[in-house]
Amino acid sequence: MKWKWKNKPTKLKNLFFCRVDMEYKKWNKIYQRLAEDLGINRYADETSSEIFDLLIGSYQKYYVDFDTLRNLIEGNTVFVFGAAPSLEEEIKKYKKNFENNTLIAADGATSALLKVNIIPDIIVSDLDGVIADQLSANKKNSILIIHAHGDNIDVVQKTIPMIKGPYLGTIQTNPDKYRFVKNFGGFTDGDRAVFLADFFYPKEIILIGFDCSANPGFYSFQKKNNYVLKMKKLQWCQRLLNLFPPDYVRNI
């Protein structure tokens, strides 16, 4: 699936992706295909959205506004860390490049960064990784972007009361009727992190530890989960990354 530009943008501000809080109808067309292909229960996603929004209403103390994220991202080079097998090697090789730039970890990649004493600015997670590591980074001011979907609402409900740092909530469904939760687009933690960054107009987005054709890496914490389904999700991750111009979102 390739997004067809009506007019190829000459400025990053003209990119429609991922301004889906205002353009949900465009994102929903992709979400419908994705849900059909992966057998996603859209009713369960909607239920999770409702529960999450209510839950945040009870835990607003550390909830962040858009300006906090904008100050970290707008006009800056953003590094997004995925969980491909190459992650640790690439972190070690390019560590000096990360200085004075914005770092976004996709879920389990947080653990790899903490191993080398790097605290990401932002963590995008549906809580499949080591939650203790993510909460530890969050206490040190990493903004934890927690994503709720039909299969993880129980762990979301357990985690939110433990948060002691800045956080935001995202969902897969239409955010218009909710007060707190947002939808920046994207599906897997990795491509959702890219969509989040794009929303706030970065200079460029550089991918670290991304290889959607490879077997799941250690930091994907795949365990005994459905391997075939995981690979299908990675295929969707690549399709969604392909929606962006390659000189704007690129591998290191």
Please give the pLDDT value at position 112: 97
Please give the pLDDT value at position 206: 98
Please give the pLDDT value at position 195: 95
Q: Is 227 exposed, middle or buried (0-12, 13-18, 19+ CB in 10 A)?
A: exposed
Model pTM score: 0.90
Domains of the chain: 16-251 (3.90.1480)
Please give the pLDDT value at position 213: 86
Under 8 Å between Cβ of 180 and 63: yes
Give tens-digit pLDDT for 78-94: 999 999 999 999 999 99
Please give the pLDDT value at position 24: 83
Under 8 Å between Cβ of 38 and 232: yes
Peptide bond into 18 cis (omega under 30): yes
Low-confidence spans in the chain with pLDDT less than 50? 1-22
- The H-assigned helical ranges of 200-252 are 227-241
Give tens-digit pLDDT for 69-80: 999 999 999 999
- d(CA 223, CA 205) in angstroms, rounded, equals 29
